[in-house]
Amino acid sequence: MSTATPEAVEARIVEALASFGPDVESVTREATFEELDIDSLDLVELAQIVEDDYGVELKGDDMKNMKTVGDAIDLVVARA
């Protein structure tokens, strides 16, 4: 399991989201999932990745409340 420094989490989440399709430059903290065309199926896959890497479990309610890339990063950092 990786060390959950804010920088490491951000880098990992940006990398993961970019692998789902959007250009890596567009994956900023402020970008919304809607703008990035990241849907619920992508977020389930993101949850699998952060659970594998940081042992943080994201549930359905967590996903519903996450609107931006920054929301996801902050949630994982807070729980890791």
Partner 1 sequence: MSRRRVVITGVGAVTPLGVGAGVLLERWVAGECGIVDGEGACRDFVAREHLSVKEIRRADRFAQMAMIASDEALADAGWQGELPYDAERVACVLATGIGGLGSLETQHDALRDGGEKAVSPLSVPLFMPNAGAGALSMRHGLRGHTYSVASACAAGSHAIGAATRMIQYGDADAVVTGGGEATLTPLSRASFAAMGALSPSGISRPFDARRDGFVMGEGAGILVLEDAEKAAARGATVLGEVRGFGSTSDAFHLTAPEPEGTHAAGAIRAALADAGVRAEQVDYINAHGTSTPLNDASETAAIKRALGDEALRIPISSLKSATGHLLGAAGAVEAIATLLAFRERVLPPTIGLDEPDPELDLDYIPLVSRPLEPLDGKPIALSNSFGFGGHNVVLCLEGVPA
CA distance linking residue 35 with residue 21, whole number of Å: 12
Q: What is the distance in angstroms between the CA of the first residue and the CA of the last residue of the chain?
A: 11
Per CB under 8 A, 45 contacts partner 1: yes
Q: Which residue in the block uniquely carries the two structure tokens 């931006």?
A: 68
Choose the catalytic residue: 39, 42, 52, 62: 39
> Closest distance between partner 1 and the C-beta of residue 80, in Å?
18
Catalytic residue list contains 39: yes
Contact 27, 69 (CB under 8 A): yes
Q: Judged by CB under 8 A, does residue 32 bind partner 1?
A: no
Residues that bind partner 1 (CB under 8 A): 19-22, 37, 41, 44-45, 48, 51
Q: Which residues have a catalytic role annotated?
A: 39
